[in-house]
C-alpha cells in the first residue's frame, strides 16, 4: 500500500562525503518534490520536477542536486554534506502543480 | 514570496476540549490552503484542503477549517479532541502564479498533546 517510498529511512554520512537519498512512487504522479526539514522548523522546499522539467528554488544551495530518471524515481544528491545539512528530507508527489501532495516517511540524515 | 505563521507552537489540552489552531498567511494573490498532520512516527498526511468555494471545509477525523480571505487566515478547529489527536499540525499554502503553483510553504507547526 506504500505510495511514496523513501530509502533509506536513516542515513549517516561523513562530512564532505557525497550521499544520495532516493524516493519512489507508485502513484504515477507528474510532480515530485524534495523538502528539507530541520529540527523544530517547517519543511522547506528545495526543488521539484514537473515531469522532466526541473525547478530549483532560488535559495537552494548548489550543494544539492536532483535527478529524475523516470516517472517513478527521484534522487537527491548532496555533493559535499556539511554539518548544517543534517535534517529530515521529505519527498512528496502530486498529480499537478497546486494539488494535494502525498508525502513519504522521510530520510533522516546525520552528518558526522 | 508567501509566508505562513502558526500562532501556537505547543498546545496541551484535555480530552473532549475544543481545539482551534491559528494560521495566517501572507500573499496577495490566489492561494490553495492545507492542513497536514503528522502522527508520532508517521509521515505527513493531509487533514483538509481549501481550493475554492465554501470557505468552511471539513476534513478527516472531525476536523474543519475556515478560510477568511479578509484576515488571510485558515484556522483549524475540532469541537472535541481525543487522545489520538496528539500530533504535529502544519498549515501550508500553495500560491498560484502565472506558471501554476509550485511547492508548499509551511508554517512551523503546532505540537498538540492531548491528555487523557
Per-residue pLDDT tens over the stretch A35-70: 999 988 889 999 999 999 999 888 899 999 999 999
Q: Per-residue pLDDT for A86 more than 80?
A: yes
Q: What is the pLDDT along chain B (116 residues), one digit of tens a residue?
A: 778 999 889 999 999 999 999 999 998 788 899 999 999 988 899 999 999 999 999 999 999 999 999 999 999 999 999 999 999 999 999 886 554 557 899 999 999 999 98
DSSP string covering B32-46:
EEEEEEE-TTS--EE
Model confidence at A2: pLDDT above 80: no
What pLDDT does B12 receive?
Answer: 97
Residues in A touching B49 (Cβ below 8 Å): 100
Q: What is the pLDDT of residue A39?
A: 87
Q: A43 with A92: CB under 8 angstroms? A: no
pLDDT of residue A1: 64
Give the model's pLDDT for residue B96.
Answer: 67
What is the arithmetic mean of pLDDT over A71-100? 94
At B78 the pLDDT is: 98
Q: Do A105 and B106 touch (CB under 8 A)?
A: no
Closest residue, chain A, to B99 (C-alpha): A97
| Interchain CB distance below 8 Å, B43 and A57 | no
The DSSP-derived string for A31-97 is EEEEEEE-TTS--EEEEEEETTEEEE-TTS-TTEEEE-SSSSEEEEEESS--GGG-EEEEEEEESST
Tell me the nearest-neighbour CA distance from A56 into chain B, angstroms: 10
Closest Cβ–Cβ partner in B96, B106, B107 for A98: B96
Nearest CA in chain A to B103: A45
Name chain A contacts of B105, Cβ cutoff 8 Å. Answer: 42, 45
Cβ contact A45–B42 (<8 Å): no
Cell numbers standing for residue B38: 503528522
Examine the pLDDT at A105 and tell me if it is beyond 70: yes
Residue A8: pLDDT above 80? yes
Comparing alpha-carbon positions, the chain A residue that sits nearest to B96 is A98
Binding-site residues on chain A for chain B (CB distance < 8 A): 4, 33, 35, 40-45, 48, 55, 57, 90, 92, 96-98, 100-106
B32 closest CA partner among B102, B89, B98: B102
Taking CA–CA distances from A46, the nearest residue in chain B reads B103
What's the confidence (pLDDT) of residue A19?
97
Amino acid at each position: 500500500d506504500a505510495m511514496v517510498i523513501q530509502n533509506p529511512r536513516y542515513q549517516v554520512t561523513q562530512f564532505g562525503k557525497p550521499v544520495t537519498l532516493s524516493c519512489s512512487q507508485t502513484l504515477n504522479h507528474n510532480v515530485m518534490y524534495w523538502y528539507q526539514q530541520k529540527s523544530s522548523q517547517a519543511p522547506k522546499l528545495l526543488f521539484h520536477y514537473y515531469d522532466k522539467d526541473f525547478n530549483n528554488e532560488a535559495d537552494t544551495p548548489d550543494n544539492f542536486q536532483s535527478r529524475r530518471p523516470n516517472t517513478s524515481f527521484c534522487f537527491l544528491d548532496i555533493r559535499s554534506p556539511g554539518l548544517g545539512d543534517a535534517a529530515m528530507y521529505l519527498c512528496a508527489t502530486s498529480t499537478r502543480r497546486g494539488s494535494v501532495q502525498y508525502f513519504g516517511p522521510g530520510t533522516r540524515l546525520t552528518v558526522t | 514570496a508567501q509566508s505562513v505563521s502558526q500562532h501556537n507552537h505547543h498546545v496541551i489540552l484535555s480530552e473532549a476540549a475544543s481545539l482551534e489552531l491559528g494560521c495566517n498567511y501572507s500573499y496577495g494573490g490566489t492561494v490553495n490552503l492545507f492542513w497536514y498532520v503528522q502522527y508520532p512516527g508517521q509521515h505527513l498526511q493531509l487533514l483538509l484542503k481549501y481550493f475554492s468555494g465554501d470557505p468552511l471545509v471539513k476534513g478527516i477525523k472531525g476536523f474543519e477549517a475556515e478560510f477568511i480571505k479578509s484576515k488571510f487566515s485558515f484556522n483549524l478547529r475540532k469541537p472535541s479532541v481525543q487522545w489520538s489527536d496528539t500530533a504535529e499540525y502544519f498549515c501550508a499554502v500553495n500560491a498560484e502564479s502565472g506558471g501554476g503553483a509550485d511547492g508548499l510553504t509551511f508554517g512551523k507547526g503546532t505540537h498538540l498533546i492531548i491528555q487523557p
